[in-house]
Amino acid sequence: MRQTPGQTPQPPAAPAAAAQGQPPAAAKPQRPPAPSVPPEFDALPIWTMEPAKLIAMVKDPKSTVFQKAIACKKLAFTGGKDAVQPMAALLDHPQLSCYARFGLEPNPDPMVDDVLRAALGKLTGKLQVGVINTIGVRKDAKAMPALAKLINSSDPEIAGAAAASIGQIGGLQAAKVLQGALGSTNPPVFPVVARASLLCAEGLMAANKARAIEFYTQLSGASMPGPVRLAALRVLNAESPAPPGAKAYPPPTGEAAENDRSGFLGRRQ
């Protein structure tokens, strides 16, 4: 700007952002384009297939592990009886076993329980643990004899998985098996058996309340893991007095009961 004589020089005009005390906005970095999905790992074409084509893909020995995995995942939603055997054939596959179980688990056909029980005695290690877990989710009571044997396995992962599945299945037979295991198992399996017993006792409350109270009484013993014992005591206090036919149980006593102010051990007067 041209200055007239005697006029004080003026500084050049500042940008609007600087005039307001704000730093100039930085230019936004350009986002690189999204990488393209290699055709051999594109799940969308598989996900849109009809069940018959998915089953054919699972059965085809030329299908890749990726293709079979995605096909099993989709068959969890669309698979029926025809999908059971092709996926069951993958239960011993080290990479695809989990996908096969994912596809079988929600399938309503009773044949699923048959193939899982058949695989139970043929598998070992983590593959067997996976099948045990799926049996528990499906609540297959026919698997109880096999699971009762596995709860005594020398492999703590298998024994713990069997105990957890028995607790999920529930019922009087499950309660009997778990009560026996409470007196025969040691850490690290014993805490799993105790938690499974708590779940089983909860399931018994609707069908056989007196039997459930007896089970909770055993779980309230001093030898039980702390969280299991406190949960059992809470139920016993809430259900007092015990229904006819149930064994009498002592109210909580000792330092823990005296110091408790949370109400977890029952209502305090």
Name the residue among 106, 67, 117 with its Cα closest to residue 83: 106
- Tens-digit pLDDT profile for the chain (269 aa)? 555 555 666 655 555 555 566 666 677 788 888 888 888 899 999 999 999 999 999 999 999 999 999 999 999 999 999 999 999 999 999 999 999 999 999 999 999 999 999 999 999 999 999 999 999 999 999 999 999 999 999 999 999 999 999 999 999 999 999 999 999 999 999 999 999 999 999 999 999 999 999 999 999 999 999 999 999 998 998 886 655 555 555 555 666 556 554 444 443 33
Residue 155 lies in a domain: yes
Residue pair 190/182 in contact (Cβ under 8 Å)? The answer is yes
| Domain of residue 203, residue span | 147-269
Residues 6+ apart with CB under 8 A from 246: 209, 210, 213, 214, 217
Residue 90 lies in a domain: no
Q: Give the CA dihedral 70, 71, 76, 79, nearest 10 degrees.
A: 170
Residue 227 lies in a domain: yes
How many Å apart are CA 102 and CA 104, to the nearest integer? 6
Hunting for tokens 């009087």 — which residue is that? Answer: 172
pLDDT at 218 (0 to 100): 94
pLDDT at 264 (0 to 100): 42
CA dist 211 → 54, 113, 200, 205, 244 (Å): 47, 28, 11, 8, 10
Residue 133 lies in a domain: no
Residue 22 lies in a domain: no
Residue 32 lies in a domain: no
Number of structural domains found in the chain: 1
